[in-house]
Amino acid sequence: MKIKLIGLTFVGLVVLAAGLIGCTATNTVAGSAGVTDPSHTPSNNDLSAASYVGVDNCKTCHASEYAEWKASGHSSVIRGGASSNPSSGCGFCHATGYKQTGGYGLASNSTTEAGMYTVQCEMCHGPGSLHAAGPATTNINKVPNAVTTCGRCHRGRPFVVKDANGRYDSLVDMDNKAVVNATIEAALPTSGTATRHPLHYRPNLPVFKGTGGYEYSGSTYTSSFHTTGISNACVVCHLQFGTDKHDLEPDPAACNSCHTGVTTFDVDGKNTEILGLLQTLGGKLASYEAVVTRSARTAESYTKALWNFYLITRETDAGAACAGVHNYRYAKQLLQDSINNFDPNNP
Protein backbone atom coordinates (compact mmCIF):
# COMPACT_ATOMS: atom_id res chain seq x y z
CA MET A 1 0.00 0.00 0.00
CA LYS A 2 1.44 3.34 -1.03
CA ILE A 3 1.34 6.53 1.01
CA LYS A 4 -0.02 9.69 -0.53
CA LEU A 5 2.55 12.42 -0.96
CA ILE A 6 1.01 15.83 -1.44
CA GLY A 7 2.86 19.04 -1.96
CA LEU A 8 3.12 22.66 -2.92
CA THR A 9 5.92 23.54 -5.28
CA PHE A 10 6.04 26.99 -6.82
CA VAL A 11 3.97 28.77 -4.15
CA GLY A 12 6.50 27.80 -1.49
CA LEU A 13 9.29 28.91 -3.77
CA VAL A 14 7.78 32.36 -4.24
CA VAL A 15 7.65 32.81 -0.46
CA LEU A 16 11.31 31.87 -0.22
CA ALA A 17 12.34 34.21 -2.99
CA ALA A 18 10.52 37.07 -1.32
CA GLY A 19 12.53 36.51 1.88
CA LEU A 20 9.62 37.54 4.06
CA ILE A 21 10.74 36.85 7.62
CA GLY A 22 13.40 35.39 9.86
CA CYS A 23 17.17 35.13 9.83
CA THR A 24 17.53 38.89 9.92
CA ALA A 25 20.41 40.76 11.50
CA THR A 26 18.92 42.24 14.64
CA ASN A 27 21.41 41.76 17.45
CA THR A 28 24.84 43.17 18.19
CA VAL A 29 27.50 40.72 19.29
CA ALA A 30 30.00 42.12 21.72
CA GLY A 31 32.56 39.44 21.00
CA SER A 32 32.94 35.82 20.08
CA ALA A 33 34.21 32.95 22.14
CA GLY A 34 34.76 30.90 18.99
CA VAL A 35 33.31 27.62 17.82
CA THR A 36 34.17 25.75 21.01
CA ASP A 37 32.30 28.00 23.40
CA PRO A 38 32.44 26.45 26.91
CA SER A 39 29.53 28.63 28.05
CA HIS A 40 27.26 26.56 25.79
CA THR A 41 28.10 23.09 27.03
CA PRO A 42 24.73 21.43 27.85
CA SER A 43 23.79 21.45 31.54
CA ASN A 44 21.96 18.09 31.67
CA ASN A 45 20.77 18.37 35.28
CA ASP A 46 18.27 15.84 36.62
CA LEU A 47 14.93 17.68 36.85
CA SER A 48 12.69 14.64 37.27
CA ALA A 49 11.35 15.94 40.60
CA ALA A 50 10.41 19.34 39.21
CA SER A 51 7.10 20.50 37.70
CA TYR A 52 6.18 23.24 35.24
CA VAL A 53 5.35 26.72 36.52
CA GLY A 54 4.99 28.90 33.41
CA VAL A 55 6.77 31.93 32.02
CA ASP A 56 5.15 34.40 34.41
CA ASN A 57 7.20 32.87 37.23
CA CYS A 58 10.41 33.15 35.21
CA LYS A 59 10.04 36.79 34.26
CA THR A 60 10.12 37.91 37.90
CA CYS A 61 13.89 37.43 37.92
CA HIS A 62 14.66 37.25 34.21
CA ALA A 63 12.96 40.38 32.90
CA SER A 64 15.35 41.09 30.01
CA GLU A 65 15.25 37.49 28.79
CA TYR A 66 11.46 37.56 29.03
CA ALA A 67 11.30 40.71 26.90
CA GLU A 68 13.51 39.12 24.24
CA TRP A 69 11.46 35.92 24.27
CA LYS A 70 8.24 37.93 24.06
CA ALA A 71 9.44 39.40 20.77
CA SER A 72 10.23 35.97 19.33
CA GLY A 73 8.22 33.52 17.26
CA HIS A 74 8.26 31.06 20.14
CA SER A 75 6.03 33.38 22.15
CA SER A 76 3.42 34.15 19.51
CA VAL A 77 3.56 32.76 16.00
CA ILE A 78 2.85 29.11 16.85
CA ARG A 79 0.21 29.66 19.50
CA GLY A 80 -2.70 28.40 17.37
CA GLY A 81 -1.24 24.93 17.01
CA ALA A 82 -2.00 24.09 20.62
CA SER A 83 -4.80 26.39 21.69
CA SER A 84 -7.20 25.15 19.04
CA ASN A 85 -7.54 21.75 20.69
CA PRO A 86 -5.76 20.69 23.90
CA SER A 87 -6.20 16.99 23.15
CA SER A 88 -5.04 17.16 19.54
CA GLY A 89 -1.46 16.17 20.30
CA CYS A 90 -0.08 19.37 18.75
CA GLY A 91 0.75 20.63 22.24
CA PHE A 92 3.85 18.42 22.36
CA CYS A 93 5.59 21.10 20.29
CA HIS A 94 3.19 24.03 20.31
CA ALA A 95 2.83 24.36 24.10
CA THR A 96 4.92 23.97 27.25
CA GLY A 97 5.05 20.89 29.48
CA TYR A 98 2.66 18.81 27.39
CA LYS A 99 0.87 16.31 29.64
CA GLN A 100 3.40 16.93 32.42
CA THR A 101 2.70 18.15 35.94
CA GLY A 102 1.95 21.86 35.79
CA GLY A 103 2.09 21.86 32.00
CA TYR A 104 -0.32 21.82 29.08
CA GLY A 105 -2.78 19.06 28.23
CA LEU A 106 -3.81 17.58 31.59
CA ALA A 107 -7.31 18.02 32.99
CA SER A 108 -5.80 18.70 36.42
CA ASN A 109 -4.05 21.71 34.94
CA SER A 110 -7.16 23.23 33.38
CA THR A 111 -6.89 26.46 35.37
CA THR A 112 -3.33 27.10 34.20
CA GLU A 113 -3.39 25.72 30.65
CA ALA A 114 -4.27 29.05 29.04
CA GLY A 115 -0.88 30.36 30.13
CA MET A 116 1.05 27.40 28.67
CA TYR A 117 0.02 27.63 25.02
CA THR A 118 3.32 28.91 23.72
CA VAL A 119 6.91 27.65 23.63
CA GLN A 120 8.21 29.09 26.88
CA CYS A 121 11.39 29.07 28.96
CA GLU A 122 10.78 25.60 30.36
CA MET A 123 10.58 23.99 26.94
CA CYS A 124 14.32 24.61 26.66
CA HIS A 125 15.47 24.85 30.28
CA GLY A 126 13.27 22.14 31.79
CA PRO A 127 10.52 22.33 34.47
CA GLY A 128 11.25 25.22 36.82
CA SER A 129 9.43 24.63 40.12
CA LEU A 130 12.58 23.76 42.07
CA HIS A 131 14.48 26.68 40.54
CA ALA A 132 11.65 29.11 41.31
CA ALA A 133 11.62 27.97 44.94
CA GLY A 134 15.40 28.22 45.37
CA PRO A 135 17.39 29.42 42.34
CA ALA A 136 20.58 27.45 41.73
CA THR A 137 22.54 26.28 38.70
CA THR A 138 21.89 22.66 39.67
CA ASN A 139 18.08 22.77 39.56
CA ILE A 140 17.59 24.17 36.06
CA ASN A 141 19.27 23.49 32.73
CA LYS A 142 20.79 26.86 31.93
CA VAL A 143 22.22 25.58 28.65
CA PRO A 144 19.88 23.33 26.64
CA ASN A 145 21.02 20.27 24.75
CA ALA A 146 20.33 21.15 21.11
CA VAL A 147 19.39 17.63 19.98
CA THR A 148 16.93 16.89 22.78
CA THR A 149 15.39 20.37 23.04
CA CYS A 150 15.52 22.08 19.63
CA GLY A 151 15.52 18.72 17.90
CA ARG A 152 12.36 17.38 19.48
CA CYS A 153 10.31 19.78 17.35
CA HIS A 154 12.59 21.09 14.61
CA ARG A 155 12.92 17.72 12.90
CA GLY A 156 10.37 17.75 10.09
CA ARG A 157 8.33 14.74 11.10
CA PRO A 158 7.05 13.08 7.89
CA PHE A 159 3.70 11.29 7.62
CA VAL A 160 2.64 12.33 11.10
CA VAL A 161 0.33 10.02 13.09
CA LYS A 162 -1.02 10.18 16.62
CA ASP A 163 1.04 7.91 18.85
CA ALA A 164 0.18 5.94 21.99
CA ASN A 165 1.00 8.96 24.17
CA GLY A 166 -1.63 11.09 22.42
CA ARG A 167 0.83 13.28 20.57
CA TYR A 168 1.38 13.67 16.88
CA ASP A 169 4.66 12.16 15.80
CA SER A 170 6.23 10.21 12.97
CA LEU A 171 7.13 6.55 12.63
CA VAL A 172 9.85 7.46 10.13
CA ASP A 173 13.33 7.81 11.61
CA MET A 174 14.80 10.79 9.75
CA ASP A 175 18.29 9.78 10.93
CA ASN A 176 18.02 6.41 9.15
CA LYS A 177 18.90 7.08 5.52
CA ALA A 178 17.78 3.67 4.31
CA VAL A 179 14.36 4.11 5.93
CA VAL A 180 13.97 7.60 4.47
CA ASN A 181 14.81 6.38 0.97
CA ALA A 182 12.48 3.38 1.26
CA THR A 183 9.64 5.56 2.55
CA ILE A 184 9.96 7.99 -0.35
CA GLU A 185 10.19 5.20 -2.90
CA ALA A 186 6.95 3.74 -1.54
CA ALA A 187 5.06 7.03 -1.70
CA LEU A 188 2.33 7.90 -4.19
CA PRO A 189 2.54 11.60 -5.07
CA THR A 190 -0.64 13.62 -5.63
CA SER A 191 0.81 17.10 -5.61
CA GLY A 192 -0.89 20.36 -6.44
CA THR A 193 -0.77 24.08 -5.77
CA ALA A 194 -1.75 25.15 -2.24
CA THR A 195 -1.90 21.61 -0.84
CA ARG A 196 0.06 20.27 2.08
CA HIS A 197 3.11 18.08 1.98
CA PRO A 198 3.48 15.26 4.57
CA LEU A 199 6.85 16.61 5.68
CA HIS A 200 5.98 18.74 8.71
CA TYR A 201 7.49 22.19 9.03
CA ARG A 202 11.05 23.08 9.97
CA PRO A 203 13.16 19.91 9.42
CA ASN A 204 16.19 21.86 10.62
CA LEU A 205 17.84 19.08 12.64
CA PRO A 206 17.82 16.40 9.91
CA VAL A 207 19.24 18.81 7.32
CA PHE A 208 21.81 20.06 9.81
CA LYS A 209 22.88 16.47 10.55
CA GLY A 210 22.97 15.56 6.86
CA THR A 211 19.96 13.23 6.87
CA GLY A 212 16.32 13.30 5.83
CA GLY A 213 16.72 13.77 2.08
CA TYR A 214 16.31 11.29 -0.73
CA GLU A 215 19.90 10.32 -1.51
CA TYR A 216 20.52 9.19 -5.07
CA SER A 217 22.60 6.12 -5.77
CA GLY A 218 26.07 6.99 -7.01
CA SER A 219 26.28 10.34 -5.20
CA THR A 220 28.29 11.10 -2.09
CA TYR A 221 26.59 13.24 0.57
CA THR A 222 28.74 15.21 2.99
CA SER A 223 28.06 17.90 5.57
CA SER A 224 29.41 21.39 6.17
CA PHE A 225 31.64 22.49 9.05
CA HIS A 226 28.58 23.78 10.90
CA THR A 227 27.67 20.10 11.37
CA THR A 228 31.07 18.58 11.87
CA GLY A 229 32.93 21.30 13.75
CA ILE A 230 30.58 23.08 16.17
CA SER A 231 29.40 21.39 19.36
CA ASN A 232 25.81 22.09 20.47
CA ALA A 233 25.58 24.27 17.38
CA CYS A 234 21.91 25.31 17.58
CA VAL A 235 22.53 26.91 20.95
CA VAL A 236 25.93 28.34 20.05
CA CYS A 237 24.78 30.06 16.86
CA HIS A 238 21.26 31.09 17.81
CA LEU A 239 22.40 32.41 21.17
CA GLN A 240 25.37 34.04 19.46
CA PHE A 241 28.52 32.91 21.16
CA GLY A 242 27.78 34.05 24.66
CA THR A 243 25.41 37.01 24.17
CA ASP A 244 22.40 34.79 25.03
CA LYS A 245 19.76 36.76 23.14
CA HIS A 246 16.50 34.95 23.83
CA ASP A 247 14.78 36.06 20.65
CA LEU A 248 16.99 33.38 19.04
CA GLU A 249 17.48 35.52 15.94
CA PRO A 250 20.98 34.76 14.62
CA ASP A 251 23.21 37.67 13.72
CA PRO A 252 25.84 37.60 10.94
CA ALA A 253 28.22 39.31 13.36
CA ALA A 254 28.34 36.06 15.34
CA CYS A 255 29.70 34.35 12.22
CA ASN A 256 32.82 36.52 12.23
CA SER A 257 34.61 33.99 14.41
CA CYS A 258 35.11 31.99 11.20
CA HIS A 259 33.83 34.22 8.38
CA THR A 260 35.69 37.48 8.89
CA GLY A 261 33.83 40.62 7.93
CA VAL A 262 30.53 39.09 6.83
CA THR A 263 27.41 41.23 7.20
CA THR A 264 24.81 38.83 5.75
CA PHE A 265 24.24 35.07 5.71
CA ASP A 266 25.04 34.95 2.00
CA VAL A 267 28.64 33.91 2.71
CA ASP A 268 30.53 33.42 -0.58
CA GLY A 269 27.18 33.55 -2.39
CA LYS A 270 26.09 30.18 -0.99
CA ASN A 271 22.69 31.41 0.14
CA THR A 272 22.03 32.81 -3.33
CA GLU A 273 23.19 29.53 -4.87
CA ILE A 274 20.75 27.43 -2.83
CA LEU A 275 17.87 29.77 -3.68
CA GLY A 276 18.80 29.47 -7.34
CA LEU A 277 18.77 25.67 -7.16
CA LEU A 278 15.36 25.78 -5.47
CA GLN A 279 14.14 28.08 -8.22
CA THR A 280 15.35 25.68 -10.92
CA LEU A 281 13.94 22.56 -9.27
CA GLY A 282 10.66 24.29 -8.41
CA GLY A 283 10.29 25.33 -12.03
CA LYS A 284 10.77 21.76 -13.25
CA LEU A 285 8.25 20.41 -10.76
CA ALA A 286 5.73 23.11 -11.66
CA SER A 287 6.19 22.36 -15.36
CA TYR A 288 5.36 18.70 -14.78
CA GLU A 289 2.35 19.54 -12.59
CA ALA A 290 0.97 21.91 -15.21
CA VAL A 291 0.38 19.08 -17.67
CA VAL A 292 -0.15 16.03 -15.43
CA THR A 293 -3.25 15.74 -13.26
CA ARG A 294 -2.76 15.08 -9.56
CA SER A 295 -3.97 11.49 -9.65
CA ALA A 296 -1.61 10.71 -12.54
CA ARG A 297 1.56 12.05 -10.92
CA THR A 298 3.00 8.64 -10.14
CA ALA A 299 6.51 8.97 -11.57
CA GLU A 300 9.04 7.86 -8.97
CA SER A 301 11.56 10.46 -10.15
CA TYR A 302 8.97 13.14 -9.40
CA THR A 303 8.38 11.78 -5.90
CA LYS A 304 12.08 11.88 -5.07
CA ALA A 305 12.64 15.36 -6.48
CA LEU A 306 9.52 16.74 -4.78
CA TRP A 307 10.64 15.35 -1.42
CA ASN A 308 14.03 17.04 -1.63
CA PHE A 309 12.47 20.28 -2.81
CA TYR A 310 10.18 20.25 0.20
CA LEU A 311 12.89 19.25 2.64
CA ILE A 312 14.97 22.32 1.80
CA THR A 313 11.94 24.58 1.32
CA ARG A 314 10.52 23.64 4.72
CA GLU A 315 13.98 23.93 6.23
CA THR A 316 14.02 27.55 5.13
CA ASP A 317 10.46 28.37 6.24
CA ALA A 318 11.90 31.01 8.55
CA GLY A 319 12.95 33.06 5.53
CA ALA A 320 14.98 33.01 2.35
CA ALA A 321 18.08 34.28 4.17
CA CYS A 322 18.31 30.88 5.93
CA ALA A 323 18.64 28.82 2.72
CA GLY A 324 21.70 26.60 2.93
CA VAL A 325 22.98 28.08 6.17
CA HIS A 326 22.52 25.02 8.37
CA ASN A 327 24.20 22.55 6.00
CA TYR A 328 25.15 24.01 2.64
CA ARG A 329 26.92 20.93 1.27
CA TYR A 330 24.06 18.55 1.98
CA ALA A 331 21.38 20.91 0.70
CA LYS A 332 23.33 21.65 -2.49
CA GLN A 333 23.93 17.97 -3.30
CA LEU A 334 20.28 17.02 -2.74
CA LEU A 335 19.02 19.83 -4.98
CA GLN A 336 21.58 19.28 -7.72
CA ASP A 337 20.87 15.55 -7.84
CA SER A 338 17.12 16.17 -7.91
CA ILE A 339 17.49 18.59 -10.82
CA ASN A 340 19.73 16.19 -12.74
CA ASN A 341 17.52 13.14 -12.15
CA PHE A 342 14.11 14.64 -12.89
CA ASP A 343 13.00 15.44 -16.42
CA PRO A 344 9.43 16.83 -16.44
CA ASN A 345 9.04 15.81 -20.08
CA ASN A 346 10.23 12.26 -19.54
CA PRO A 347 9.84 11.41 -15.82
The whole-angstrom separation of Cα 315 and Cα 309 is: 10
In a domain? residue 71: yes
Looking at the fold, whether 82 and 203 belong to one and the same domain comes out as no
- In this prediction, residue 76 carries a pLDDT of 78
Same domain for 101 and 196, yes or no, is no
Last residue of a domain, which of 115, 142, 169?
A: 142
**Rounded distance between C-alpha atoms, residue 33 and residue 241, angstroms:** 6
Q: Select from 142, 171, 201 the last residue of a domain.
A: 142
Q: Is residue 257 part of a domain?
A: yes
Question: HEC profile for 275-304?
Answer: HHHHHHHHHHHHHHHHHCCHHHCCCHHHHH
109 & 250 share domain: no
Our count of domains for the chain comes to 2
pTM reported for the whole predicted model: 0.84
Domain endpoint, select from 102, 122, 142: 142
Residue 34's pLDDT is 42
Q: Is 172 exposed, middle or buried (0-12, 13-18, 19+ CB in 10 A)?
A: buried
Residue 14 is predicted with a pLDDT of 38
pLDDT per residue of the chain (347 residues) written in tens, 0 to 9:
344 444 444 434 433 433 323 343 333 333 333 455 666 788 889 999 999 999 999 999 999 999 999 988 888 755 444 444 555 667 788 888 888 888 887 766 555 666 787 899 999 999 999 999 999 999 999 999 988 899 888 888 887 777 777 777 777 888 889 988 888 887 755 554 345 567 777 889 999 999 999 999 999 999 998 888 888 888 888 886 656 788 888 888 878 878 888 888 899 999 999 999 999 999 999 999 899 888 788 888 998 999 999 899 888 766 677 788 899 999 999 999 999 999 998 88
At 49, the amino acid letter reads A
The answer to whether residues 297 and 166 belong to one domain is yes
Tell me if 346 is assigned to some domain: no
If asked whether residues 210 and 323 sit together in one domain, one would say: yes
Q: 66 in a domain, yes or no?
A: yes
**Predicted pLDDT of residue 78:** 57
> Residue 73 domain-assigned?
yes
What pLDDT, on a 0 to 100 scale, did the predictor assign at position 47? 95
Residues 101 and 211 in one domain: no
Taking CA atoms, 300 is separated from 69, 150, 334, in Å, by: 44, 33, 16
328 and 211 co-located in one domain: yes
Q: Domain check: are 75 and 162 in the same one? A: no
Report the distance separating Cα 59 and Cα 76, nearest Å. Answer: 16
- Asked if residue 158 and residue 14 are part of one domain, the reply reads yes
**Domain residues for 261?**
3-19+152-341
Per the domain annotation, does 276 fall within a domain? yes
Q: Residue 26: inside a domain, yes or no?
A: no
Residues 333/271, Cβ–Cβ less than 8 Å: no
Question: Is residue 182 in a domain?
Answer: yes
Q: Do residues 132 and 247 share a domain?
A: no
One domain for residues 179 and 296? yes
Which pLDDT belongs to residue 340?
97
Residues in a beta bridge with 187: 3
Quick one: 126 and 51 in the same domain?
A: yes
